[in-house]
């Protein structure tokens, strides 16, 4: 009898541990980006720079609704047909690659096996390299440096995402993300020339991603 009780207690503890582990997930998200730049250093813009993003994700649920989500990955940002305040009406395009680390809080609404989760937080981006070109030119062939339009680009960038995740959840805890859509509002004044002029230029990025996540046991 004692052995049965011990086995039952151990089994219950294992089931409780497994259920708790299902509240943590790792996964992958990927998809296109469409970016531009805002601020009083940007006189006008009439185009979007298209890029790509890829993230390795981890999230931790707290109860039925709240979750903390983080990731590490790569994202392209920039802008197209940007008229800068100090370039005499000429238009330029920019493409910048970032290592990104999002730190977000989500609130999940469940609808049977589907869920919707609005989220926000802070995204940390480390600039891996920036290229600039006249908008009339197709290829990027000049790096962002002192003397180029806009000057150098900040190495560290912060932004605030405002997003919504639509997912389908499966028995066992795995999850397929149908759409993770966000608008990232840049907080960092990224151009050195804008700072020197007492003006601002900040990234603004639309992101669409899809992917999957599996529970951690």
User: Does residue 173 belong to any structural domain of this protein?
Assistant: yes
pLDDT in tens, 40-87: 999 988 889 999 999 999 999 998 899 999 999 999 999 998 999 888
- Mean pLDDT within 32-47: 92
* CATH label of the domain that carries residue 68: 2.40.160.20
Whole-number pLDDT of residue 97: 95
User: Does residue 87 belong to any structural domain of this protein?
Assistant: yes
Between 196 and 46, the higher pLDDT residue: 196
**Are 116 and 108 within 8 A, CB to CB?**
yes
Domain count along the chain: 1
Between 144 and 33, the higher pLDDT residue: 33
Question: Residue 3 pLDDT > 70, yes or no?
Answer: no
Answer left, alpha or beta for residue 5, where phi above 0 means left and psi between -120 and 50 means alpha.
Answer: alpha
Who's near 13: CB < 8 A, 6+ residues apart? none
Give me the sign of the Cα torsion angle 214, 209, 165, 204. positive
Whole-number pLDDT of residue 172: 87
Question: Residue 16 pLDDT > 80, yes or no?
Answer: no
Domain hosting residue 50, numbered range: 25-215
Whole-number pLDDT of residue 176: 97
User: Does residue 190 belong to any structural domain of this protein?
Assistant: yes
- Mean pLDDT within 31-39: 96
User: Does residue 72 belong to any structural domain of this protein?
Assistant: yes
Cβ neighbours around 113 below 10 Å, total: 11
- Mean pLDDT within 167-195: 95
Cα end-to-end span (Å), the chain:
30
Whole-number pLDDT of residue 217: 66
User: Does residue 210 belong to any structural domain of this protein?
Assistant: yes
Global pTM reads 0.84
Which of 184, 201, 183 is closest to 192 using CA atoms?
201
User: Does residue 19 belong to any structural domain of this protein?
Assistant: no
Please spell the DSSP secondary structure of 93-138, one letter per residue. Answer: EEEEEEEEEEEEEEE-EEETTEEEEEEEEEEEEEEEEEEEEETT-S
User: Does residue 13 belong to any structural domain of this protein?
Assistant: no
User: Does residue 181 belong to any structural domain of this protein?
Assistant: yes
Integer Cα distance of 157 and 85 in angstroms:
22
pLDDT in tens, 153-180: 999 999 999 999 999 999 988 999 999 9
């Amino acid at each position: 009898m004692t052995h049965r009780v011990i086995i039952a207690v151990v089994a219950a503890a294992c089931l409780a541990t497994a259920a708790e582990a299902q509240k943590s997930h790792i996964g992958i998200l990927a998809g296109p980006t469409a970016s531009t730049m805002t601020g009083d250093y940007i006189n006008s813009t009439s185009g979007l720079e298209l890029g790509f993003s890829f993230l390795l994700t981890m999230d931790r649920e707290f109860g039925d609704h709240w979750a903390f989500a983080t990731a590490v990955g790569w994202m392209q940002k920039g802008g197209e047909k940007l008229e800068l305040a100090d370039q005499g009406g000429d238009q330029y395009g920019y493409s910048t690659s970032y290592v990104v680390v999002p730190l977000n809080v989500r609130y999940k609404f469940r609808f049977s096996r589907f869920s919707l989760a609005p989220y926000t937080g802070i995204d940390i981006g480390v600039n891996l390299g920036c290229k600039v070109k006249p908008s009339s030119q197709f290829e990027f062939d000049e790096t962002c440096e002192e003397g180029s339009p806009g000057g150098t680009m900040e190495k560290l960038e912060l932004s605030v995402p405002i997003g919504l995740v639509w997912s389908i959840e499966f028995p066992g805890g795995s999850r397929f993300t149908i759409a993770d859509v966000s608008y990232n509002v840049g907080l960092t004044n990224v151009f050195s020339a804008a700072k020197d002029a007492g003006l601002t230029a900040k990234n603004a990025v639309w992101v669409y991603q899809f992917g999957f996540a599996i529970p951690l046991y």
